[in-house]
Amino acid sequence: MQVAWDFFQRQILGMAWLNSAIGSGLIGIGLDIAGRIGASIQFFLFDMIKILVLLSVLIFIISYIQSHFPPEKTKKILGRFKGIGANIVSALLGTVTPFCSCSSIPIFIGFTNAGLPVGVTFSFLISSPLVDLGALVLLVSVFGARIAIAYVVMGLVLAVAGGTLIDKLGMEQYVERFNAIKKIATIEVPELKRKDRLLYAKEQTLETVKRVWVYVLVGVGIGALIHNWIPTEWIQLVLGKNNPFSVLIATAVGIPMYADIFGTIPVAEALFFKEVGVGTILSFMMAVTALSLPSMIMLKKVLKTKLLVTFIGIVSVGIIVIGYTFNALGFLFV
Amino acid sequence: MTIKVLGACCRKSKETFENTKLAIQQLGLEATVENIGDMAEIASYGVMTTPALVIDDQVVSFGKFLSKDDAVKIISKIARQ
């Protein structure tokens, strides 16, 4: 059983055979893959292809699943839950909901006007970019199942706790009131046939690859740099296990940046290879995806500054805590 | 016929708007086509995923990119009712 799983992880998800094939190909055209340039090219090609292929397959499957969960339907589902249960369901649904920064405002308004507590909406908004089914599978290929599952669980915990905390702090008053909206229509959510779902999945796949490949390219580029060009000592100095500030640095760097989670994976791979702590890497990935300048600008339109700052503060602190915890407990996973 | 295409933030929405205008041209219908970018107005229709198509204040499609042919199909179906 273990052998079968290892095979799956290394060859199917990890595509180790592809790496070998590319390596052989490069040697064939005279490149020295043990040298820096050769190794960089090998890493670059391998990672690019691997991620794009996995990305396409995963997005397709997951979009198919996601076609069952448009936010309009989520709004109705969430109306039936109360208390922390609502936050938990919200965080879970956020995971399976396709996310686009420009949805965040209509979703926020829609949920709030449907009577859902502000915290429940935040649980959704935190988990949506942070935890992604597709990324989960990719994480398994890079870090193994244990770390991947830990990332997802921690992301959900952060989403639920963050949302609940925002409610408990009574932050509802800091949501901009939209006087223009008297009544929000509840639209009929059409039941899709299988053909529609397959079509939707295909559209989402094409559109996501188009949107995301640049991030993957940059991510793989940075990953290659880290892998082969930046001395391990430098990385160790700033982000290594002996630097008590590594999590803080990783988080601080990640927050203003935005990259699709698929773009962060090659960077995470490379950092992992250079023996950066698991917690530090997770913090970086979470900071990049959960918070970003574009989404903060969008949220500024619906939230008063105090709430926005609280939101950013809670998520940041949560990410940092998760980072340090994982660094401390890292030995359990690797 | 008053048609509104909700969503102005990304390429998907803008292209859907253009496709809708082309569809109306192709069908030769009397209709105004507006592109709504204001989030509050979009949300008031109960829509949370753009682009969305609203015909005479009824939401007929949401969360889907529409090609010109998609738009033609949807609009002509409504026009015949």
Is the Cβ pair A184, B39 closer than 8 Å? Answer: no
Residue range A195-206: mean pLDDT, rounded: 83
The pair phi, psi for residue A39, each rounded to 5°, is -65, -40
Residue A104 has pLDDT above 80, yes or no: no
Helices of type H across chain A = 2-7, 16-28, 36-66, 71-78, 83-96, 104-113, 118-130, 133-143, 145-168, 194-224, 232-239, 246-254, 261-273, 278-290, 293-300, 305-329
Residue A216 has pLDDT above 80, yes or no: yes
pTM confidence score: 0.77
Number of Cα atoms under 13 Å in the Cβ half of residue A301: 16
Number of domains in chain A: 1
Q: Is residue B30 part of a domain?
A: yes
Domain membership of residue A225 as a residue range:
55-332
Number of domains in chain B: 1
Structure tokens at A3: 């052998």
Residue A122 has pLDDT above 60, yes or no: yes
Q: Is residue A205 part of a domain?
A: yes
Q: Which of B44, B64, B65 sits opposite A184 (nearest CB)?
A: B44
Q: Return the pLDDT at A102.
A: 67
CB B65 within 8 A of CB B51: yes
Chain B's closest residue to A186, CA to CA, is B46
Q: Is residue A42 part of a domain?
A: no
- Distance of alpha carbon A200 from alpha carbon A181, whole angstroms: 31
A110 touches B at CB < 8 Å: yes
b/e per residue B28-58 (b: at least 16 CB within 10 A): eeebebebbbebbbbbbbbbbbbbbbbbeee
Q: ipTM, 2 decimals? A: 0.71
**Sheet of B58-62, strands arranged across:** B32-36, B2-6, B52-55, B58-62
Domain membership of residue B23 as a residue range:
2-75
Q: Which residues pair with B2 in a beta bridge?
A: B32
N-to-C CA span, chain B: 12
Q: Which of A70, A101, A181 sits opposite B40 (nearest CB)?
A: A181
Q: Is residue B27 part of a domain?
A: yes
Confidence class for position A286, pLDDT limits 50, 70, 90: confident
A178 touches B at CB < 8 Å: yes
CB B40 within 8 A of CB A177: no
Q: Is residue A224 part of a domain?
A: yes
Is the Cβ pair B39, A301 closer than 8 Å? Answer: yes
Q: Is residue B81 part of a domain?
A: no
Q: Is residue B80 part of a domain?
A: no
Q: Is residue B46 part of a domain?
A: yes
For residue B9, list chain A residues with Cβ-Cβ distance below 8 A: 101-102
Q: Return the pLDDT at A328.
A: 84
The H or E element that residue B54 is part of is strand B52-55
Residue A334 has pLDDT above 60, yes or no: no
For residue B39, list chain A residues with Cβ-Cβ distance below 8 A: 105-106, 109, 301-302
Taking CB atoms and an 8 Å cut-off, how many pairs form between chains A and B?
73
Is the Cβ pair A103, B44 closer than 8 Å? Answer: no
Q: Is residue A242 part of a domain?
A: yes
A175 touches B at CB < 8 Å: no
CATH number assigned to the domain comprising residue B28: 3.40.30.10
Confidence class for position A184, pLDDT limits 50, 70, 90: low
B49 touches A at CB < 8 Å: yes
